Amino acid sequence: MQFDKTVDASGLNCPLPILRCKKGLNEIEANQVLRVIATDASSVKDFNAFCMQTGHELLHLDTTPTTFTFYIKKRTNN
């Protein structure tokens, strides 16, 4: 999947992956895609809730046993 910026939140626990994601989203334009790499198992639930609450679109989630990679499209009216 194509993306415009990557945020590596590996090794960080809640709420730091979400905070890093918010910072990364502020650094890209509307409709661009942010890739976030996380290792915290609760990040799946956290990023789903974050996207629902903020209007950003979770396009895709890749998982391995230890890593979760989120592709988030920035909303247009931020």
How far, in Å, CA of 75 to CA of 7, rounded? Answer: 17
How far, in Å, CA of 33 to CA of 61, rounded? Answer: 13
CATH number for 5-73: choose from 3.40.50.1820, 3.30.1490.20, 1.10.287.110, 3.30.110.40: 3.30.110.40
Q: What is the pLDDT of residues 9-42, one digit of tens each?
A: 999 999 999 999 999 999 999 999 999 999 999 9
Q: Which residues of 1-78 form beta strands (DSSP E)?
A: 5-9, 33-38, 57-63, 68-73
Q: Which residues are catalytic?
A: 14
In the structure, what pLDDT confidence band is assigned to residue 77 with cuts at 50, 70 and 90?
A: confident
- What's the whole-number mean pLDDT along residues 40-68? 96
Contacts of 60 (CB under 8 A, 6+ apart): 1, 70, 71
Is the CA virtual torsion 34, 39, 44, 50 positive or negative?
negative
Is residue 78 pLDDT above 60, yes or no? Answer: no
